[in-house]
Amino acid sequence: MTQRHVEADAPVACEASTARDLLINDPSAVFAPHTHTDVERRTFPMTLRVKMASGGTTMQPVTIALGIPDTATGSRFPISWSPAAHRRALPSFNGHLEVVPAGDECSLHIEGTYQPPFGPAGALVDAVAMHRPAQRSIDDLVAYAAIRLAECAATGMESMSWRPAPAPDLLRDAPAPEAWLG
């Protein structure tokens, strides 16, 4: 079967370290439309959009998975998604999302492959008509992720509404209470 390559870049209006921290600590803030219960598994429901040349938009629900960074710098994340429905008729994607430093800001780079469905006939249809919409969906995804990263960095928010409780003061560090009798 033929694998098709796609890649896209988008500038992010935040520092690379902030973008990496958000993608490591709470990727649902970037990819999920709202807080999602699978934040620990790092998989989220999302809708991929394909803007057609005619001006219309086609949307497809997918399950996206963002892995733990696979480099020492923590800037390259494995990413994949598969269709939520019609798994035999629609392609899945496997690749990497990378945070690339660029001065006080950064950019997102996504690169990977998908396999057109339906064997050789699907590969022919993809070569003739479907590769451009697939590329546009990747362009849209990386632009969306860049915007969400910048928004989260600007507001200092993550999608999770809870925060760990502050560490309690150690009793031995507090002055001993004095009690006067009599």
Q: What is the CATH number of the domain that holds 95?
A: 3.30.530.20
User: Which token pair is 173?
Assistant: 């560090």
**52, 5, 11, 90 alpha-carbon torsion, rounded to 10°:** 50
> Comparing C-alpha atoms, which of 98, 118, 139, 117 is closest to residue 8?
139
Please state, for a pLDDT cut of 70, what percent of the chain lies above it. 79
Q: Provide the pLDDT for residue 169.
A: 53
Q: Provide the pLDDT for residue 160.
A: 44
Give the strand order in the sheet containing 4-12: 4-12, 105-114, 93-102, 76-83, 57-66, 43-51
CA pseudo-torsion sign 88, 23, 142, 154: positive
Q: Which domain holds residue 135?
A: 4-156
Residue 178 belongs to some domain of the structure: no
Q: Provide the pLDDT for residue 159.
A: 44
The full length of the chain comes to 182
**pLDDT 10s digits, 43-79:** 888 888 877 777 788 888 888 889 888 777 788 999 9
Residue 179 belongs to some domain of the structure: no
Q: CA-CA distance, 139 to 9, in Å (whole number)? A: 7
Q: CB 74: neighbour CB atoms within 10 A?
A: 16
pTM of the model: 0.76
Residue 171 belongs to some domain of the structure: no
Residue 181 belongs to some domain of the structure: no
What residue has token string 């996206």? 64
Residue 107 belongs to some domain of the structure: yes
CA pseudo-torsion sign 126, 127, 133, 136: positive
Provide the H-helix boundaries in 28-83: 28-31
- Looking at the structure of the chain, the number of domains it has is 1
Residue 168 belongs to some domain of the structure: no
For the chain, residues with pLDDT lower than 50 are 158-163, 171, 179, 182
Residue 38 belongs to some domain of the structure: yes
Residue 163 belongs to some domain of the structure: no
> Comparing C-alpha atoms, which of 108, 102, 120, 111 is closest to residue 148?
108
Instruction: Identify the bridge partners of residue 76 per DSSP, sorted by sequence position.
Output: 98
CA pseudo-torsion sign 105, 103, 22, 163: negative
User: Which token pair is 18?
Assistant: 């902030």
